[in-house]
Amino acid sequence: MAFITKPLALMTGAIAVVGANSMVLAPISAAVAQDLGTEPAEVLQAAAAYGGMTALSALLLAPRADRIGPGPALMQALVLLLISLLVSTLAPGKWLLIAAQSIGGLGAGIAIPAIYGLAPELGPEGEEKRSMGLMLSGWTLALVAGVAGAGFVAEWVGWRAVYGLLLVFMTALYLALSRADLRVRRLGSASSPLTALRVPGIGRGLASAGLLMLGFYGTFAFIGVHVADDLGRGTDAAGLLILSYGTGFGISTFLDRYLDRLPQVTAGAISFAGLLLVYLGFSTVAPHYGLLLALALLWGITQHLGLNFVVSRLAGLEASQRGAILGLNSSITYLAVLGGALSFRLPYEAGGIAWCNLISAACLTLALVECLAPRRVAI
């Protein structure tokens, strides 16, 4: 894989560390609450603060990358994340933890769009989609570290060690990136969410991204609850399901080169159709854990391909507005996290995970129709 440059490999590591930081609080919330003398629901306010500030930062601050360059923007974002991790590690109470996570959200809202913008620029020309796919594989590492690794470390060493380890990894990443060449082939101009919203094709691109992520988070939010409540299995079974998904997400990196040879619309249609079939399959085999486990692998593969399509599509709309455009994408993603947890709750309570799966399938049906519908501008 000669196309993997050192800066591109660092982008994969960056999304792994930044992504893991966004996931670790949920699986260790009980341990944090016990240590701080509060309830897990109170601790999860910090996770909500992180998500909310990430969405706001991605909307308002990410466009700075078009003016100063995504490399400098990423380095500034990492400083905020380092401060957040240091304060989180030492936080004596709930409110300081919430404040620390809010600072982390500000940093993540800048960092994730900057990483997405850098990945296609730091790989060889003509290999932009493969470069994007490699970077996205960092989410697999984030998922394993954030869901499985954090719980293990918190159990045996304590929850503060989780943030302490992330602080060490983030520091190492910062030092490595400070020595790397993060210059891009072209710089943008001053941008904002309003200027990005005037880019031709942005509305349909964001709608496609929103449908993909809402479908994902709607099922993801409740599949662990289904395994515990409906199948009567423990958290280890839910963790194995997530691990199967993460494995598929990582494996899919090797398929990017083949989809690169296809027209972008065809690649998107294959991804969305595959995800649609996976969600329909989930709704059918929901009572059978073994079949869920097998389908989770396919879920990871098709979700990776779909995410690569929507991010590459948005990144290619207008290079000079890339920071603002990818900031809008991150805002849409974090709104989908909230929307999936809230809007799928009643369907889950009424009809179980199968109803959630069917709604996710409906989201992917709309995404597939949009992908195949005629358009006036190139995507």
Distance CA 61, CA 147 (A): 28
SS3 361: helix
Mean of per-residue pLDDT scores for the chain: 86
Q: Is the pLDDT of residue 188 over 70?
A: no
Alpha-helical runs (H) found in 188-321: 193-196, 202-225, 235-251, 256-259, 264-285, 289-315
Distance CA 376, CA 378 (A): 7
Average pLDDT rounded to a whole number, residues 175-198:
74
What CATH superfamily classification does 6-187 receive?
Answer: MFS general substrate transporter like domains (1.20.1250.20)
Distance CA 212, CA 370 (A): 12
Distance CA 50, CA 105 (A): 4
The amino acid occupying position 226 is H
Determine the pLDDT at residue 22: 85
Fold equal for 6-187 and 194-372: yes
pLDDT tens, 322-378?
888 888 998 898 888 878 877 888 999 899 999 999 999 999 999 999 999 977 544
Enumerate the domain spans of the chain: 6-187, 194-372
Give the architecture (CATH level 2) of 194-372: Up-down Bundle (1.20)
pLDDT tens, 108-128?
999 999 998 888 887 777 677
Q: Is the pLDDT of residue 227 over 50?
A: yes
Which pair of structure tokens corresponds to residue 369? 């129709």
The region of weakest confidence among 39-48, 143-152, 217-226, 292-301 is 143-152
Distance CA 209, CA 296 (A): 21
Alpha-helical runs (H) found in 24-137: 25-36, 40-60, 64-68, 70-90, 94-122, 128-136
The better pLDDT of the pair 270, 29 is held by: 270
